[in-house]
Amino acid sequence: MKILIDIGHPAHVHLFRNYANELIEGGHKVIFCVRRKEFNVELLEHYGLPYKCLTKNYSSVLGKAGGYFLYEFKLLFVALNFKPDILISHGSFYAAHVAFLLGKKHIALEDTGNMEQVRLYMPFTDVVLTSSSFKKSLGRKQLFYDGYHELAYLYPNRFKPDKEVLKSLNVSDDEKYTIVRFVSRKSSHDIGKRGISIELKKEIVKTISKQLKVFISSEEELPIDLEKYRLKIKPWEMHDAMFYSALYFGDSATMASEAAIMGVPTIFLDDKGRFYTDEEEKKYGLVYNYYLSEENIYEALDQAVQLIKNTHLKADMMERKQKLISDHIDVTAFLVWFTLEFPQSRNILKTNPVYQLKFK
């Protein structure tokens, strides 16, 4: 079987990398298609995955509009040559459109519910896989599974933290630190959303750095007085750095969920929240969600200080993490089965949802 995987964000590389490796080891052919955005290409090269970089990333509105058509044209050209049996993506309308033009199947994974994107890919998609935590109905093509995207690469048999990252961070084994994350808010689904102001970013770092060492992961340039806190590690070391951290604080939903799954106390700031971080808070107590406003950021900082000072927190978080893991499946194993057995797998999951329990 030939599978084309369309990538829009570095997190999607992680989502599909173990899946691709298992398919390749099974004798199947896989190719990733990608824009040069953040660390997409660097991650694919590090993991030794076959890929085609089709365009650069465009930041302006006009550039994005032209980039959409150019990327889709180049993706079609690659697909015509590769001749995939199935295209799979994190809700890529490019992949959906190309699959439709070629008369092939498109499997979409969805966890954010950005309807401006869903409407573009849904008519050309055969099935949409969403977490059981996803509370939005996407229609008859939607199927649920007991997992989060982050469990495709952070499930216990998929992730083994490397303590060598502490040397890269220049911290000792017993030195506590936190990772603070600021996103750029430049994606199409972020239009109209507020970000964290420079003043509040400085206040966040000032408050937390009084308690422990701070490393900032930022998609944008930082003020000179915050630049010294920038996290300077290789992109593939991020999950190792997060695993050994004492706290995650930021406005990236993916990183919030990653930290929670690893048992790291997590404070997530967002305009609307996410279904999965809501569940990670309400059901497992691993995330503290705060609506993104100045008042709430100060509340979140108070919560952060309390968490840092809680000497019993680590043991409690490990228990909560184990509960989360036991309730969910190995998402990579599930995706491999679902793809190779498609479309029969779709019918099995529709009539027998508990079948997925075999992937725990």
What gap in Å lies between CA 75 and CA 59, rounded to an integer?
A: 20
285 φ/ψ angles, rounded to the nearest 5 degrees = 65, 30
Neighbours of 105 (CB within 10 A): 19
Q: Is the separation of the CB atoms in 43 and 356 below 8 Å?
A: no
CA distance 61 to 193: 16
Output Rg (C-alpha) for the chain, integer angstroms: 20
pLDDT score of 187: 47
The superfamily (CATH) of domain 165-326 is Glycogen Phosphorylase B; (3.40.50.2000)
> How confident is the model at residue 114, as a pLDDT?
87
Max Cα-Cα span within the chain: 58
Contact 260, 286 (CB under 8 A): yes
Q: Do the domains spanning 2-155+330-359 and 165-326 agree at the CATH topology level?
A: yes
| Mean pLDDT for back-to-back runs of 10 residues, the chain (360 residues) | 96 97 98 92 97 80 69 96 98 96 98 90 97 94 97 97 96 95 64 73 96 93 93 96 97 96 96 90 96 92 95 92 97 98 96 93
Which pLDDT belongs to residue 184? 75
Tally helices (H) and strands (E) across the chain: 16, 12
Contact in structure between 256 and 248 (CB atoms under 8 Å)? yes
Amino acid at 198: I
DSSP letter assigned to residue 156: T
Q: What are phi and psi of 172, to 5 degrees?
A: -80, 170
Contact (Cβ atoms closer than 8 angstroms) between residue 136 and residue 275: yes
Q: Is residue 230 helix, strand or coil?
A: strand
> What are the sequence ranges of the domains in the chain?
2-155+330-359, 165-326
Q: Are 106 and 99 in contact (CB under 8 A)?
A: yes
Q: Are 154 and 200 in contact (CB under 8 A)?
A: no
- In angstroms, the CA 341 to CA 348 distance is 10
Taking Cα atoms as reference points, which of 51, 57, 45 lies closest to residue 5?
51
Q: Look up the CATH number of domain 2-155+330-359.
A: 3.40.50.2000
The SS3 assignment for 132 reads coil
